[in-house]
Amino acid sequence: QLQLVESGGGLVQPGGSLRLSCAASGSTFHYYTIGWFRQAPGKEREGVSCISSSGHMTNYVDSVKGRFSISRGNAKNTVYLQMNSLKPEDTAVYYCAAGEDIDFCSVPEAMVYWGKGTLVTVSS
What's the pLDDT score for residue 29? Answer: 86
What's the pLDDT score for residue 26? Answer: 79
Backbone dihedral region of 85: left (phi > 0), alpha (psi from -120 to 50 degrees) or beta? left
Contact between 61 and 7 under an 8 Å Cβ cutoff? The reply is: no
**What distance in Å separates the CA atoms of residue 57 and residue 106, rounded to the nearest whole number?**
13
**What distance in Å separates the CA atoms of residue 103 and residue 84, rounded to the nearest whole number?**
25
Give me the average pLDDT of each 10-residue run along the chain (124 residues). Answer: 95 98 89 96 96 93 97 87 98 96 90 97 97
What's the pLDDT score for residue 30? Answer: 86
What's the pLDDT score for residue 76? Answer: 76
